[in-house]
Every structure is written in C-alpha cells, then in structure tokens.
Chains A and B, each alone.
Chain A
Amino acid sequence: MSEPTTPLVFASAVTAVPSPDIGDAALVLSDRSAVAKWVVRAGAETNAARTLPRFGTSERAGDVLVAGSRPGEWLMLGAPEPVADRVAAVDTAGHVSLVDLTHSRAMFRLAGAQAPHLLEKVCSLDWTDAMMPDGAVVSAFVAKVTCDIVRRDDAGTRGYLLLSDRSSAQYLFDALVDAGSEFAVAVGPPKVGV
C-alpha cells in the first residue's frame, strides 16, 4: 500500500479573477470560501443554546463570527484554527451536534455602500438599517439560490457575507457580478476571514 501522494490545497468552488485594480471601488465582491464553517445545532434547553446569540443576530469574538442562522442553529465562521477552538468550547451537554460544513458551503463578501442596491436586484428582502442592521442574520433566496446572509460591516463600510451551497457557488458568483455591473462592482482577492 503506497503513501498518499496528492499535494492537497483547499480548492474554492469559484473561479474568480480579481479585478486588476480595485482601488477605492465602491463595491467589492470577494471569495471567502476557504473560511472554516461549522454548524451548531442545539435544543432550546441546552447550555449551548442559552449562551449563543439569538436567532437572527450574530456576535463576533476575536476572529470568529457566530451567527444565529435558524432557531436552534448557529454558524461559526472564521479562520480554521480559531473556529476549531470555538467549536471545541461549545458545551455539548444535552442534544447538541457540531458538523463541519467548510467544504459544503461557499462564502462571499459583498462590501460597499452600493451593496444593498446590488442585493435589491437579486433578493426580495428589505436591506434597510431598520430591518437588516449590522450583525443581522437571515436566510433567503439570492438569484434563486438559498443563502445564509450576515450583515457584517467593517470599519464603517457596509458589508454582507453570503453563504451558499458549494455546488451553486459559481452560478451565484456570476449572477452577483452581472447584477453589480451597473455599480461597477470589482472582484477582490480571495481571503480567509470574516
């Protein structure tokens, strides 16, 4: 039996050629698929459920974003090691399960003041600050693809993390670029971070 020989590098679901010069582009779409993504499921009676953010909201601690994606369900997103630490810290007493979805989901970040206007073209939700403030979490169809969406502003720049099934990722990425053409959307370099 020979030794494994494949040099393994995480391959994103998306072929995205970064724009040559994104400069101070008002709208930037970038691939964050290499971010570690775990899902935590916990019954309402568990300690885990009591300590994690409520449904529809998110919290960031260090390099890890924890998002209440559905009742009794949370996403933990970030660089692999911090996320692994955070997952390990979840109180698993009771009916709690932890599943690694890193390879199952693609993730994009859409950032810039025009981001809501792009999203208005592909999704029926209300993106105003009142209904979707910084930190809000929602599930919705985006260009007919089911996505988890987290509003995640960064240094005053409005931004959204979009998580989709890996298999639809290239289609979704292309749909977002197409929708963003009227706003001169730029494709940023891939990054591991939230």
Chain B
Amino acid sequence: MQRLATQPGEVIDRSRPLPFTWNGKPHRGFAGDTIASALAADGVRIFARSMKYHRPRGLLTADYWDPNAFVQVGSDPNVRAGHRLLEAGMDVSAQNVWPSLEYDIKAANGLVGRFLTAGFYYKTFMKPARLWPVYERVLAQFAPGGTVDYDSAHEYFDKRYTHPDVLVAGGGPAGMASAIAAADAGASVMLVEHEHDLGGYLRWGDGAQRELADDLRASCDAHDGIEVLRNATVTGRYEDNWCAVVQRDHPHAVERLIKARAKTLVVAPGLIERPYVFAGNDKPGVLLSGAARRLMNLYAVKPGQRAVVLTANADGDRTVTDLERVGVDVARVVDARAGATVVAAHGGAKAVESVELSDGSSVDADLLVTAVGWTAPTSLLNLAGDRPVYDPQAARFFSDRVPDNIVVTGGLAGDGSAAELVEHGRATGELAARRAAVVAHTLQRLTSRAAPVADDTAQSMPPDDRSPLTRDAHPELFRSSTHGIVDYSEDVGSKDLVAAATEGYDSVELIKRFTTATMGPAQGKLETVNTVAVLAEARGETIAEVGTTVWRPPFAPVTLGALGGRIFEPVRVSSIQPWHEAHGARPILAGQWVRPEHYGDPEGEVRNVRGNVGIIDVTPLGKLDLRGPDVAKLLAHLYTNKWAKLPVGGVRYGVMCAEDGVVMDDGVTGRLGDEHYLMTTTSSGAAGVWEWAENWLQTEHPDWQVHITPVTTAFTSINVAGPNSRELVSRLTAIDLDSDAFGYMQVRRGEIAGAEGCFMWRIGFTGELSYELHVPSGYGLAVWEALLEQGADLGVAPFGLEAQRIMRLEKGHFIVGQDTDGLTRMPTVGLNPLIKLDKPDFAGKVELREAVEDDTLPRLVAIQPDDPDIVPVEASQIVRAGTNEILGRITSSRRSPTLGRSICLGQVAPEAAAPGTTLTVVLTTGQRISAKVMEHHAHFDPDGERQRV
C-alpha cells in the first residue's frame, strides 16, 4: 500500500503531517488519517495477530468494525485503529505478540489448530478440577487484548440526559434527510453518526454522491433544530424509546453517555458489508469493497498493486472503477452474478500472493477485494421487540414489526438510488415529527407543570403513509466450496461451526455460545449472517428456517468509564462540620453523613463527660415534625407503648416494630403543643420511619389528620452531657433548668445563645445529666462556639461518636441495627413493659402478642469477660462450653474507661441469659474466654441516678 496523489474526496489534511511510532519505529501520517490509514499508507500490511491461532491479520473493513486492527496506543488498550484518528506523537503498538508482530511465537498454536476447535477449553480444562488454577494461569498468557496501565490517570467521563422529539440513529443520506425533514416540521432533532462525519457511503462515493452528502451535511449543521453528534453511537434502545448514546469526542470529556428519551426514534444505520468465507479469507490483502474504497477515496491510500475483485453488486463494480482510476492493475473481475466465485487465497503466511477461482484458474495478486452483500444491523429494532425476517431474494434480513414510536429508513428499509433514499428519509422524518408531536401532546396533557395544550383531547398516532423502498435482487453468497474464517475476532472458522452442529449444537443460539462466534468485539456485525448461513447449510435448512440470534445492547462496545460517568456520591454534613474539620476531628462516614468519630482521644472524651461536661454534634438524629389532631393516634399505632396521655412539654421513649414484631427503630418524641409533636428517630432510620408513617397514613388511615414534615436538618442538634451541663446551658438561656421546673424526659422551647425558635429536652443516652439542644441550623455553629466559650471554666470539650458509643454501652442502651438484627423481636431487647397489648391496635401487635409468651427468643444481656483486659470483637460467637454449639454473639464491645475493663452487650439463647451465667466467647484467634452475664443491661449507674439529678 502507498499514499496516492490528492484524491477528490480525501479527508486528510496534507498540510498537517503527524509523526507517530508503530512498534517503536517512526511513521508519519496526516491530520484526518485514522491510525490504520496512516499505517497502510506507510506500507504496513500486518496490524495484529488473531486471537487463537495468532495468524497475521491485515485490514478487512478499515473502519470501526475492523476485527483485525486493535492496537495499543500509549496506555490505552484495544484501540480501534480503523476508527481512532491519528494524533501527533502517538505511541502505537501491536497487542499480545511475542517477540514481535512479524515473528510471533504463539503462532505455533496454528500447528495444533485441529485440536483447538470449538469447545477445546470446555472439554480440556474440566478435569482434574484441582488443576484449574494452573490452567488459568497458563491460559491467561494467551488472553487477547492490550495491556492495562493501572497507573494511568483517571479521566473525566460525563453523562447527559436529553429529550429530543426525534432521535436519528445514523447520518447517511436517509438519516440526514430524516433529520432535516423532522426539524423542518418543527421537531427538535438529535442526529447521531457513528463515524467521524455525516454522509454514510456517499462520503467515499463519486462526485455527485459527495456533492449530495455535502449539501445534506451543510443543511444539518446549519439547522437550529438539529443537534449533530459525530463519532457517537446509539448503543441501545429501551422501553419508551429510552436510548443510550455514547459520544466519543467531546471537548470536555473523554466520553459522554447520553440518555436520550426520544419521542420518536428513526433507525437509519445503513448496512454493514459482509465478508465471504473461503480458504485464506483472513490473509492480509483480502479487503471488503467498502474498505478498499474508503482507503482510496477518503485517505488516498492505494490498497495494492494487482487485484482480483469478486463482485456481486454495484458496489463491487464501483470498486473496480476506483481501483483502475488509482492505478491498481485489476487482473480479474470475478462476477458472482454470473456464477463465478473465489475458492481460495494463497500466499505466504503474511500476504495474499495468488487467488484460486471457481473456474480452476489461479491469478497472481496481492489484493483480493470481495463485494458479496450486507448485514442489516437491526440491533436497535431487536431491542424494540422486532424479530427480523430473512429475504432470500435480497440476501439479507429486514425488520418485521416495530412500535409506532420507531421508524425505519435507509438500507434497513430497502434499496434505491441516493435520491430515492433521501426521498424515503424525508418522508420518514416528516412521519417521525408528526408522531413525536402526538407523544409530546400526550405528555403535556398529562403533566401538571407542563405548558397547557390548546386541544385537550387525546390524539392518535398518524399511520405510516410512506412509499416503501424496493428491494434489489442479490445473489446469496456466504461460503465458497472451501472453509474459511467466519468470526475474525474469535478465530472461529466455518469448519468449527460445522463440527459444532455435528456435535448437536444445532440451534443458532447454542452454536453461538459453544463456538463464541459473534461474541467478539465486532458483536456479530460481520459474522452473524455467515454463522447462520453455515449452520443452515450444515443442517440442510434455509436461513429463514434457522433464524438469527437476538442482538442485545450495546450496539457498539461502551467503556466502563462512560457507563460510570460522573460519580455522584452525596455526603451530608451538619452546620458544625467546618468547626469539626478545623479542630482535628477524625471523620467517619455514617450512611451519607460525615461525622466526627473523635478528636484524638475518645477515652479522654468519655472521662471528661463523666467528670465535667462534653458536647456532641448529633444533628443527623432524624427529626419529624408532626402536626394535626390525630398525631397521638399515629404515635400509638407506630410505637408499641401508649401516647394519649403525654402532656404538652413531655417527652416519651418509644420502640417501633414492623408488622412481624421485629424492632425497626426507636427514639423519643416530645409534645410541643396541643397538636404539635416532634419525633426523633435513629440517624439511619429517619427516611425509613417517615416513609413507614406516611404509608400508614395514606393507606390504612387516610382519615387521620396528620401532617409529617421532615426537619432533621432544620435544627442543629447538640447534646450537652455531664455533671456540669446544667450550669453550662443555664449560661446561654433564660429557660428555667431547675430539676423541679424542667425534669427528666421533658421538653422546653425558647431562646438559646440568642437564637430564637430553639427547643431542648432532658434525656440521657450517655447516662449523664444532659440536655439535647435543637437550634435552627443557621445558628448552629454560633451556639456550638458559644457553649465552648461559656463553658471553658467548666471543662467543656467536644466528644465524638466513639465516646458516645462507649458511654451508651456503659449504660446498656442498645442501638437498633447494631444490637438488633432483622430477626430481633422486641422481647429480645428486654422492653416488654413497653409493649401495650391492651391497645386496640398497633404495628406488630399480632406478632408481639405471641412473642411476649415465647420463651425461646434470644435475650439481649450485658456481658463482662472474666479477663477485664480482653475486648472480644463485635460479632464474636458465644458457644456452649466445650462444644461448637452457638448460643449467641457479642453485639457491642468496648473497653470502658469509666470501669477500667471490657464490657459488652450480646444476644444469647434464653437458657444462657440468667444473671451470673458463665459464657464461652470464641475470639477471632480461636481462643475461648469465659464471660459473665450481668444483672442489668447497664454496666454503670444502673439506677440512673446521674441522669436524673
């Protein structure tokens, strides 16, 4: 191959030479070249080695679908050389060859090729199973593909959602005409073209065809109603025309995945030329006619010196003309329409040297061009439920039935001159726009926020009134009298398919999976029809009888980066977070919340709370504002205890169970007014409890008048705990904090540190005298800082989540989800007095009625290891002494700085729950230790004297 003089339709810019390297050697191409065209122009004929037999491979299609032109570009593996545009300085190399592309030692596989037929791996490496790890390591050495650079930079991928009236998949003549007609009719249009420019086959056509392409392209680019995406692919069509589009060249992202909800989808991908199966059909120098014409007319590359052309259609004839124009000696034109064909391509290992024909002759040639028909890429239609039907007269598949919101045009719909395709495209665009208008009308009618429509009556879809395209007769040419490669990506030959069919894999879906034909990077674009044809021949049936496989998305491979897109991982922070960060808090992620785990010394924080006063940011505590005359009814239904008599200013603890009696949340609720309550939930349970409550209101009790408003972050919540807490809080508020005026489990509203709209309640998760302040969040940080300032002489210091967890464990308070699990019913946690079975109804009542009598349920107990220095990790098993019989597990464990020893909570079988029982705990080391069941859940201050002062 060599670079030609300037060609009339070439897309390369000869004023911009681009240096690059190929396997370490310098080369030069031009702007506009693909990697493949630049290499071809510089005389390169071998681009890769085949997957299994490592046979030398040259260009076949010279475009995106070329199965033989995957290369490594810098740290980028598996780059499609037939598509990726050349850039200056590219470091391009062949993949998976050793020691070199020209002399690949793995080509020895070809010598044992007859043993490597379909199913070889399945059959050979099944036994003995114990050797599979060895097999795996060896096979990995033969895996195809490039090299991943794990140190390469994480690049920016992006996502976008859009809602065009009409999405046109394919920018050939019919697609462009559709887009223009739809936009002229007022539709918003997104036109997606797989290649680098619009035009389809017109781009490498004659002068008149290029002129037509230029006109249509200019109209598309200039039309305000058309958004043109080049080098982009509609990779999938899903329910209601939800279409995935991968945009490969975007100035701000490596790739962008566009999720387009199209009102109408126009499918116009054109046709993909099909290879011919014969001996030697994968030798470098065997090209499809489209590839030869693209090389000559787009990239000014002379594809060979002396050619044989096998033609069954007008495209093959045009290729002959083009080859002769650029000076290729066309030694023989083999006209398949007259019954002639090619039998084999012969030559050395690396190139075609002669071509054997069906008339018995042999022609010396370094180039064999085939033009034997097309594959209809019906993938997007398959995804809409269409099952394509084979037409033997046209030798290709056509769509059968598609939904009203899909319209087909171009080669998928039929044949015709460029003008006829454009005319069909226009009619298609007009129809697509009319149908999109009906969808838009329906959406607007049914969406309250949408702009009102003039006519509010339902409209029906316009019928398809287009004149259909004709279908040209075409000979059925799939395999010659010899066997050759069917799937170039997977190295599957027609002989493999016949053997598989003989073994009984005689369904097209089975043979596909057994041989892996159509499962390589080309995903059936080149090989599906030939696979079906070879199978049909082997079964003695027609192609129509065999049918075809169902194409699934994606239509073209999608990178994981594009699928990931921008990574949205919301985090939540309280208004005090800037202070925490500035003061060295170690962050911990609790759900979406970033919280301070500690400020350097969690045990010191505990001691300070026990001895002085500490403050902790508990903003994530779920908070629901409840208003209405029926709130008490709702609370009584959600919680197991009673609520009717809770006075204004009172606070009550409650446990919430699911209908199976399993504990789902707990918290306190305060009554702020006659019909106004504030419920708190666990931090992780806030959203679930809201949904749970709304579910009861909206389904079982729509008659109850209750409004629930989540206000978790309306308030910054600060727990002030410790013996000095009363003194500290009193310095910031006029609320009377005397224990007679403001007792335990009561709530007061007022001003704190100048902030209006606050409330506080006396509760005690830490076991100390404590006040939980709820401050409007805009003032949260100010109040936090005021507490620290005003409490300096009282020893105030912040404490984090870890200190809080230690103190609650010292007090024996359980945490839902930590000390309970998805099977923990309420009697297990020891709160039976809160189960009021005399209430008319509440969530979980039926189950709990049984559960309270069930003496087999596990019990939550306080546990202390006999060795005070051993802290069993949480989830350590508790077993029956001397056996492995599991009796329970440790649910929480810490070292208590207050008691100077290890403390735990755990769930145990009832027979092991009595105070004083000695338990055996299995540590992660396997060591067994003894531990005692304590009398109370609380390891410290079991009577609660400290919190009630």
Contact = CB atoms under 8 A, between A and B. Distances in A.
A153 B608 CA distance: 55
Interface stretch (A22-30, A51-59, A107-115, A186-194): A51-59
B570 A171 contact: yes
Interface string B775-802: 0111111110110011000000000000
Report, nearest first, the 5 A-B pairs whose CB atoms are least far apart: A56-B449, A104-B714, A56-B448, A167-B572, A126-B163
Given A95-B705, A182-B251, A144 B714 contact: no
A97 interface: yes
Contacts of A170: 573
27 contacts: A1-B730, A4-B751, A4-B753, A6-B754, A6-B786, A11-B782, A55-B448, A55-B449, A56-B448, A56-B449, A97-B628, A99-B627, A99-B707, A99-B711, A103-B779, A104-B777, A123-B161, A124-B161, A128-B188, A130-B440, A130-B451, A131-B447, A133-B451, A166-B714, A168-B592, A171-B571, A178-B566
A121 B569 contact: no
A100 interface: yes
B764 to A, nearest CB: 22
Contacts of A4: 732-734, 751-755, 786
Nearest to A183: B252
Interface in A1-17: 1-2, 4-13, 15
B444 interface: yes
B777 A103 contact: yes
Give chain B's interface secondary structure class. mixed
B583 interface: no
Given A6-B779, A99-B709, 4 more contacts: A2-B732, A128-B163, A130-B443, A165-B713
Contacts of A133: 449-451
A157 interface: no
Contacts of A84: none
B753 A5 contact: yes
Given A101-B714, A133-B451, A166-B777, A144 B569 contact: yes
Nearest to A164: B570
A143 interface: yes
Contact of B570 (A1, A6, A144, A181): A144
Contacts of A172: 570
A32 interface: no
Given A104-B713, A126-B163, A10 B778 contact: yes
Tell me which of B161, B570, B730 has the highest count of chain A C-beta atoms within 10 A of its own C-beta. B570
Contact of A137 (B161, B449, B731, B776): B449
Nearest to B625: A99
A131 B754 CA distance: 46
B627 A54 contact: no
B754 A7 contact: yes
Given A95-B707, A131-B444, A13 B777 contact: yes
A145 interface: yes
B8 interface: no
B940 interface: no
B293 to A, nearest CB: 37
A41 interface: yes
A125 to B, nearest CB: 7
Interface residues of A, number: 60
B7 interface: no
Interface string A143-165: 11100000000000000000001
Nearest to B754: A4
Contacts of B777: 13, 103-104, 166
Interface string B561-591: 0000010111111110010000000000000
A98 to B, nearest CB: 9
A124 B161 CA distance: 5
B527 interface: no
Given A129-B451, A131-B443, A168-B570, A5 B786 contact: yes
Given A4-B733, A11-B782, A168 B709 contact: no
Contacts of A39: 709
Interface residues of B, number: 68
Contact of A8 (B160, B574, B755): B755
A169 B209 CA distance: 55
Nearest to A181: B252
Contacts of A95: 628-629, 705, 707
A47 interface: no
A11 B575 contact: yes
A43 B786 contact: no
Nearest to A166: B713
A87 interface: no
A175 interface: yes
A179 B566 contact: yes
B482 interface: no
Nearest to A130: B451
Contacts of A7: 754, 782
A81 interface: no
B730 A121 contact: no
Nearest to A131: B450
A136 interface: yes
B158 interface: yes
A12 B578 CA distance: 12
Interface string B692-726: 00000000000001010111111100000000000
Contacts of A8: 753-755, 779, 782
B653 interface: no
Given A13-B575, A104-B777, A121-B159, A143 B786 contact: no
Tell me which of B161, B259, B712, B780 has the highest count of chain A C-beta atoms within 10 A of its own C-beta. B161
A138 interface: yes
Given A121-B566, A168-B570, A172-B570, A6 B755 contact: yes
Interface string B157-185: 01111110000000000000000000000
Given A5-B790, A130-B444, A137-B449, A121 B158 contact: yes
Interface in B218-274: 251-252, 259, 261
A146 B440 CA distance: 26
A56 B13 CA distance: 54
Contacts of B625: 99
A39 B188 CA distance: 37
B778 A103 contact: yes
Contacts of B627: 41, 97, 99
B757 interface: yes
Contacts of A128: 163, 188
A132 B161 CA distance: 15
Contacts of A91: none
B201 interface: no
B514 interface: no
Contacts of A129: 451
B551 interface: no
B714 A168 contact: no
Contact of B163 (A6, A121, A131): A131
B64 interface: no
A107 to B, nearest CB: 12
A102 B776 contact: yes
Contact of A120 (B162, B705, B780, B786): B162
Contacts of B705: 43, 95
A75 B731 CA distance: 37
Contacts of A41: 627, 707, 709
Contacts of A103: 713-715, 776-779
Contact of A6 (B259, B629, B783): B783
Contacts of A181: 252
A133 to B, nearest CB: 4
A95 B675 CA distance: 11
B593 interface: yes
Contact of B707 (A97, A122, A143, A168): A97
A178 B443 CA distance: 31
Nearest to A101: B714
Nearest to B676: A97
Nearest to B751: A4
B164 to A, nearest CB: 9
